[in-house]
Amino acid sequence: MPWQVLKIPADSATATALSDALMELGALSVSIEDAHAGTDAEQPIFGEPGCVAEAWQDSLVTALFETDADIPAILQQACVVAEMKSLPPYHIEQLAEQDWVRLTQSQFDPIKISDRLWIVPSWHAAPDPAAINLVLDPGLAFGTGSHPTTRLCLKWLDANLRGGESVLDYGCGSGILAITAKKLGAGGVIGIDIDPQAVQSARDNAASNHVDALFYLPDAAPGAQYAVVIANILSNPLKVLAPMLAARVQMGGRIVLSGILAEQAEEMRSLYGEWFAMRPAVIDEGWACLSGERR
Residue 63 lies in a domain: yes
* pLDDT band at 122; cut points 50, 70, 90: confident
163, 285: one domain: yes
Domain that holds residue 7: 3-97
Q: What is the mean pLDDT of residues 63-78?
A: 93
What average pLDDT is seen over the chain? 88
Residue 36 lies in a domain: yes
Residue 117 lies in a domain: no
Please check the confidence at residue 234 and state whether its pLDDT lies above 80.
yes
Segment among 13-22, 40-49, 69-78 with least mean pLDDT? 40-49
CATH number for the domain that contains residue 55: 3.30.70.120
What is residue 50's predicted lDDT score, i.e. its pLDDT? 45
Q: Report percent pLDDT > 70 for the chain.
A: 87
152, 267: one domain: yes
Q: Do 31 and 90 meet the contact criterion of CB atoms below 8 Å apart?
A: no
Q: Report percent pLDDT > 90 for the chain.
A: 71
What is residue 98's predicted lDDT score, i.e. its pLDDT? 59
157, 85: one domain: no
64, 167: one domain: no
Q: What is the mean pLDDT of residues 215-223?
A: 95
Higher pLDDT, 67 or 47: 67
Please check the confidence at residue 217 and state whether its pLDDT lies above 50.
yes
What is residue 159's predicted lDDT score, i.e. its pLDDT? 97
179, 78: one domain: no
8, 91: one domain: yes
The total of structural domains in the chain comes to 2
What is residue 52's predicted lDDT score, i.e. its pLDDT? 40
* pLDDT band at 143; cut points 50, 70, 90: low
Please check the confidence at residue 96 and state whether its pLDDT lies above 80.
no
What is residue 37's predicted lDDT score, i.e. its pLDDT? 73
Higher pLDDT, 127 or 2: 127
Instruction: Read off the pTM.
Output: 0.68
Residue 124 lies in a domain: no
For the stretch 196-210, pLDDT in tens is: 989 999 999 999 999
Please check the confidence at residue 48 and state whether its pLDDT lies above 80.
no
What is residue 109's predicted lDDT score, i.e. its pLDDT? 78
* pLDDT band at 277; cut points 50, 70, 90: very high
What is residue 216's predicted lDDT score, i.e. its pLDDT? 97
Q: What is the bridge-based pairing of β-strands 58-66 and 3-11?
A: antiparallel
For the stretch 145-191, pLDDT in tens is: 678 999 999 999 999 999 999 999 999 999 999 999 999 999 999 99
What is residue 97's predicted lDDT score, i.e. its pLDDT? 66
* pLDDT band at 239; cut points 50, 70, 90: very high
CB atoms within 10 A of CB 40: 11
Whole-angstrom distance, CA of residue 78 vs CA of residue 19: 8
CB atoms within 10 A of CB 251: 8
Identify the domain boundary among 82, 97, 112: 97
Residue 220 lies in a domain: yes
Higher pLDDT, 143 or 74: 74
Residue 55 lies in a domain: yes
Residue 133 lies in a domain: no
Higher pLDDT, 43 or 140: 43
Q: What is the mean pLDDT of residues 76-100?
A: 86
